[in-house]
Amino acid sequence: MVEGLARAQGSVIPTGGTVIAITVPIINSDQTGLQYYTRNHNSEFIFNTGTLRLTLRQQIHMSRGLSLCARTIWLQHEQKHIRDNEALMGRIDAELRKDQEFIDILVSPSEWRPRPRFQATQDAIQDIVGDVFERLTSAAAARQDTQQEYQSVDRQVRLRCGQMLRRILRRGQYGDGIDLVQMALNRQPSAFPPLTIDGIFGPVTEKRVKEFQRSRHLSDDGVVGQDTRTALGL
């Protein structure tokens, strides 16, 4: 689900990894405060004055299999996106005023439009707002989601949550620690698709563990013990 949202957002997925968390910003435009004139027996209209109210709503989505420890650390990363997007709201007015179609409709309207085009014009306003907002938020996300940032978050997870890996992990188990193994395996070269971070040690995770063990000349028993943890950097 999280990776699907990321792809729908056009987010850049880090090389060799999966999406752990994503912040989805949604902008709503309230056009009820806009005023307009009509003429020729209400057959034409032109916007005159008023207020276009913009509100921001944000949702954070995370992989369900993350331990509480890892969720806390990834939440701190996603809150950076929350703050960035909130800061962008102060720039939208200026950016909208650079859009020629927006200028022609609302800022300096000079063309009377057929009344049947009223809904289409409202839709055009919404589309312009959405396009400008997406451009700004996408650029902000790209600045934040650098390889260096992902490595920093990953390092914090391993350092602060690594104590959860003291037990031996094998197929059939689930819960804390398995999410860290899955994330670590996704950082390794593999002939298989990246693992879903679900905290479940199932047959797919076991297959990836065995593949990794063979690549490091370890016993390919599919069990994550001390040697495998060390080789994974956990």
Same-domain pairing of 50 and 139: yes
The residue segments making up the domain with residue 51 are: 2-147
Check residue 52 and give its pLDDT: 96
* 89 within some domain: yes
* 74 within some domain: yes
Check residue 19 and give its pLDDT: 73
Check residue 18 and give its pLDDT: 67
* 158 within some domain: no
Same-domain pairing of 142 and 171: no
Same-domain pairing of 32 and 142: yes
Same-domain pairing of 81 and 139: yes
Average pLDDT over residues 3-23: 60
Same-domain pairing of 123 and 185: no
Least confident of 65-74, 86-95, 113-122: 65-74
CA geometry: angle at 198 spanning 193 and 201, to 5°?
Answer: 80
Q: Tally Cβ neighbours within 10 Å of residue 18.
A: 18
* 207 within some domain: yes
- The string of pLDDT tens digits covering residues 171-221 is 998 877 888 899 899 989 999 998 988 888 999 999 999 999 999 999 999
Do 3 and 94 form a contact (C-beta atoms < 8 A)? Answer: no
Give the chain's domain count.
Answer: 2
Do 61 and 22 form a contact (C-beta atoms < 8 A)? Answer: yes
pTM: 0.74
